[in-house]
């Protein structure tokens, strides 16, 4: 009986050790996958605007006829997300639930502004259909040109100071989240952050090799 109990305990410890090894391996694999997925952040292709620069200050009119200046330092102390949208853009429509959810989750520090150009009636229909009426919806071809917006989905995050926090092509919820992540980490883009981390790890490896030949 005693021998059976000892064997049972040994087997139990072997199982626990094996599970520990598996968990460690899984954690390492998750880290590898994170590094591979992270560069899927919003691509910043703008050739004239860069993170940290002053945002273009552009006077615009909302669908309701109010005139506001986007890019100016905010008296409210809140950041602004410019979400460029078009009534005939399927990707824009698919992202509307995500950006509305993000605006709700980040409402403590973030203001959401929809931006576009074209015929007002189409945009009013879009606002009504998706419940965008509680956010400013501005119409300005100049605004799109200043931010280099073409046929690609593009967003810009602006600090309350009027400085550009993050910007880039946004075609998915992950791209949208990456703008907030880039702002939090104070980097130009998630791609830049990954490169910095890889460079730091490479430097750390070199130091270890020199210290422990």
CB 103 within 8 A of CB 176: no
Q: Cβ-count burial of 134 within 10 angstroms (0-12 exposed, 13-18 middle, 19+ buried)?
A: exposed
* Section 54-68 average pLDDT: 93
* Section 90-110 average pLDDT: 93
Residue 186 scores a pLDDT above 70 = yes
Taking every pair of C-alpha atoms in the chain, what is the biggest distance, in angstroms?
Answer: 88
State the Cα angle at 132 between 141 and 164, rounded to 5°.
50
* Section 62-84 average pLDDT: 93
pLDDT of residue 207: 40
Measured between alpha carbons, how far is 151 from 124 in angstroms, rounded to an integer? 21
Q: Work out whether strand 67-70 and strand 137-139 pair parallel, antiparallel, or are unpaired.
A: unpaired
Query: What are the C-alpha distances in Å from 70 to residues 25, 45, 125, 173, 190?
Result: 49, 21, 24, 24, 25
The enclosing H or E element of 182 equals helix 173-185
* Section 54-62 average pLDDT: 94
pLDDT of residue 125: 94
| Residue 101 CB neighbour total at 10 angstroms | 12
The enclosing H or E element of 5 equals helix 2-37
CB 48 within 8 A of CB 164: no
pLDDT of residue 109: 94
Measured between alpha carbons, how far is 8 from 15 in angstroms, rounded to an integer? 11
pLDDT category, 39, cuts 50, 70, 90?
A: very low
- Assign 108 to helix, strand or coil: coil
pLDDT digits (tens, 9 = 90+) for 126-176: 999 999 999 999 999 999 888 888 767 889 999 999 999 988 888 888 888
CB 166 within 8 A of CB 189: yes
* Section 97-115 average pLDDT: 94
DSSP state of 38: G
Q: Work out whether strand 79-84 and strand 110-116 pair parallel, antiparallel, or are unpaired.
A: parallel
pLDDT of residue 50: 86
pLDDT digits (tens, 9 = 90+) for 122-135: 999 999 999 999 99
Question: Which residues are bridge partners to 67 per DSSP?
Answer: 61
């Amino acid at each position: 009986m005693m021998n059976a109990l000892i064997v049972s305990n040994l087997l139990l410890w072997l199982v626990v050790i094996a599970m520990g090894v598996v968990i460690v391996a899984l954690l390492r694999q998750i880290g590898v996958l994170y590094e591979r997925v992270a560069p899927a952040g919003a691509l910043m292709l703008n050739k004239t605007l860069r993170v940290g620069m002053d945002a273009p200050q552009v006077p615009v009119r909302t669908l309701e006829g109010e005139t506001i200046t986007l890019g100016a330092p905010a008296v409210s102390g809140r950041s602004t997300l410019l979400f460029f949208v078009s009534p005939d853009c399927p990707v824009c429509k698919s992202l509307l639930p995500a950006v509305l959810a993000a605006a709700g989750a980040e409402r403590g520090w973030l203001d959401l502004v929809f931006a576009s150009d074209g015929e007002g009636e189409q945009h009013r229909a879009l606002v009504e259909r998706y419940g965008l009426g509680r956010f400013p919806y501005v119409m300005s071809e100049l605004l799109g040109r200043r931010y280099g917006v073409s046929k690609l989905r593009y967003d810009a995050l602006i600090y309350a100071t009027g400085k550009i926090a993050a910007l880039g092509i946004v075609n998915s919820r992950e791209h949208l989240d990456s703008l907030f992540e880039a702002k939090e980490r104070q980097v130009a883009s998630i791609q830049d952050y990954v490169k910095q981390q890889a460079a730091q790890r490479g430097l750390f490896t070199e130091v270890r090799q020199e210290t422990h030949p």
